[in-house]
Amino acid sequence: ADGSSRTKVAGRIERINAERGSRVRQLLTFRFIPETDVHHRHVAVHKEINHPDGKKEKVFNDGAHLVTFPNGTLKLVLPSGYTQIKFPNEDTKETFENGKTVYNYSDSQITQITDGNDQPQKFYFSNSQLELHYKDDTKEIFFADDSAKLIAGGREYNILPDGQVYRVTSNKSGVGEVDPTSFERSLTE
């Protein structure tokens, strides 16, 4: 690896160590907020439309649309552009006016947030694990015990709660091994 990629990895590890203790790892639990809840809207229906493909649409006086699909999917679109979808498997998706998307996988209790082109995708797990996935295939993974993992440039690093960094390597049989001196060596090679 060249010097710039080593510097980039070292910078990411320094940032992970600096932020790890203060990072908020609260799980985002999707819930329909009262003013948009498809089951508890208190706005009068302006008209109802039955589409030939089986969709049923309610248009509300405030300009919102609620579409019920034949498979049971519910889609609420507000005049602002905000959209909420509830799928038959209980997964939910919110799309905000600014392009931010929040998808909640009901069965696995994972919440995925996509903020925009230059932002990493964020994955929140029910065990308080947080993963950041970047466009360059770099991944930062934060665990509840304050340890972390960085996967960057084809290499994997474990970062312990005390700040120690270990590079994970594979032996001849492909089994992962941890070399406690490999990080410092790999940055100076």
**Residue 80 pLDDT:** 87
Q: Are 150 and 138 in contact (CB under 8 A)?
A: yes
**Residue 187 pLDDT:** 41
Q: Are 160 and 150 in contact (CB under 8 A)?
A: no
Environment class of 162 (CB within 10 Å of its CB; exposed 0-12, middle 13-18, buried 19+) = exposed
> How wide is the angle at C-alpha 30 spanned by C-alphas 119 and 77, nearest 5°?
80
**Residue 39 pLDDT:** 47
| Terminal C-alpha separation, the chain | 8
Nearest-CA neighbor of 84 among 54, 134, 41?
41
Task: From first to last of the 189 residues of the chain, give the pLDDT tens digit.
Answer: 455 655 666 666 676 666 554 443 333 333 444 344 544 455 788 899 999 999 999 988 888 888 999 999 999 988 888 899 999 999 999 998 888 899 999 899 999 999 877 888 999 998 888 999 999 899 999 988 888 899 988 888 888 888 888 888 765 555 455 555 544 444 433
Q: What is the CA radius of gyration of the chain?
A: 23
The C-alpha atoms of residue 174 and residue 167 are separated, in whole angstroms, by: 15
- Run of H or E residues at 34: none
